């Protein structure tokens, strides 16, 4: 059933129904889906019942727009395909020294709003802690010059009952030439500029067998 939802939303999204209401006849929709008009109508009804679209107007002159849930479904599809097809165009390797933070990263990482997005957009579940590397001036300058040109994966901000959480830029990375993870740059942070914050599916200190002050290489892709 899932595939029918996606396949039916694509022609609507292509016509701009993520942003605004579009006029749609079931004849046109049928043609785009390659089905009978009756099936096309059933699909529209299904999308509406499941909360993916909203319809207004008369049946003869109906307008359709994707709901937030519908738009989120299209974004899911985008990131799934992005992860399958994306070949990084650029990369940079920097070296930093492992330092211990205040343990606050863990609090952020345990937020479901972030966790879900990492699973969906980067394809892994976060180990509950961050791995911080301190860069010297040379590595910081190279990092700052390169990061602008790398493509980031947007992790969106969200609200819980208590507070709001800010958006984060995530970049795919290989840590210690060994483990796939990501570096994250929150739009708001308590960290100094020369600290690079890393997240991964595993406990990196153990996986890389490194301790406080050890040098670790990180290759960042984008
Ligand atoms: C996924 C993620 C999102 C974050 N978002 C924010 C944020 O919106 N605002 C903020 O002040 N700090 C944010 N941070 C926290 C800081 O970047 C940093 O982790 C924290 O200030 C220090 O933690 P540490 O001492 O354990 O390294 C975020 C951290 C992570 C891992």
Q: Where are the domains of the chain?
A: 2-82, 88-221
For residue range 135-154, list pLDDT tens digits in order.
999 999 999 999 988 989 99
Whether the pTM exceeds 0.75: the reply is no
The confidence score (pLDDT) of residue 204 equals 98
What is the reported pLDDT for 76? 84
CATH topology of domain 2-82: Arc Repressor Mutant, subunit A (1.10.10)
**Ligand 1 centroid distance, CA of 99 (Å):** 15
Q: How far is the CA of 186 from the centre of ligand 1 (A)?
A: 7
Round to whole Å and give the CA distance between 126 and 201.
5
193 lines ligand 1 (CB under 6 A): no
Beta bridge partners of 55: 64
Percent of the chain with pLDDT strictly greater than 90: 82
Which among 172, 174, 178 is positioned nearest to 207, based on CA atoms?
178
**Ligand 1 atom, smallest distance to 155 CA:** 1
Inter-residue contact 182 to 172 (CB < 8 Å)? yes
CATH superfamily of 88-221: Riboflavin kinase-like (2.40.30.30)
Separation in Å, CA 25 to CA 22, 40, 213 = 10, 10, 65
Q: Which own/partner pairs from 158-166 qualify as long-range (CB within 8 Å, at least 24 positions apart)?
A: 158/111, 158/113, 160/111, 160/113, 165/108, 165/111, 165/113, 165/114
**Ligand 1 center to 190 CA (angstroms):** 7
37-95 pLDDT, tens digit per residue, is: 999 999 999 999 999 999 999 878 899 999 999 999 999 889 888 877 877 778 999 99
């Amino acid at each position: 059933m899932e595939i029918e939802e996606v396949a039916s939303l694509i022609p609507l999204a292509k016509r701009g129904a993520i942003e605004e209401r579009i006029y749609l006849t079931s004849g046109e929709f049928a043609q785009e889906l390659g089905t009978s008009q009756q099936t096309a109508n059933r699909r529209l009804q299904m999308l509406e019942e499941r909360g993916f679209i909203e319809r207004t107007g008369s049946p003869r002159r109906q307008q359709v727009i994707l709901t937030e849930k519908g738009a989120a479904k299209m974004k899911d599809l985008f990131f799934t395909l992005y992860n399958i097809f994306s070949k990084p165009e650029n990369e940079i390797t920097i070296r930093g020294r492992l330092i211990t933070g205040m343990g606050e990263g863990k609090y952020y990482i345990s937020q479901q709003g972030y966790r879900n997005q990492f699973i969906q957009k980067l394809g892994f579940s976060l180990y509950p802690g961050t791995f911080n590397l301190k860069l010297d001036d040379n590595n910081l300058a190279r990092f700052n010059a390169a990061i602008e040109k790398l493509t980031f994966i947007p992790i969106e901000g969200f609200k819980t009952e208590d507070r709001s959480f800010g958006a984060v830029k995530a970049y795919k990375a290989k840590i210690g030439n060994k483990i796939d993870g990501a570096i994250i740059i929150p739009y708001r942070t308590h960290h100094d500029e020369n600290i690079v914050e890393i997240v991964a599916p595993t406990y990196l200190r153990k996986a890389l067998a490194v301790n406080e002050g050890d040098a670790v290489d990180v290759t960042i892709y984008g």
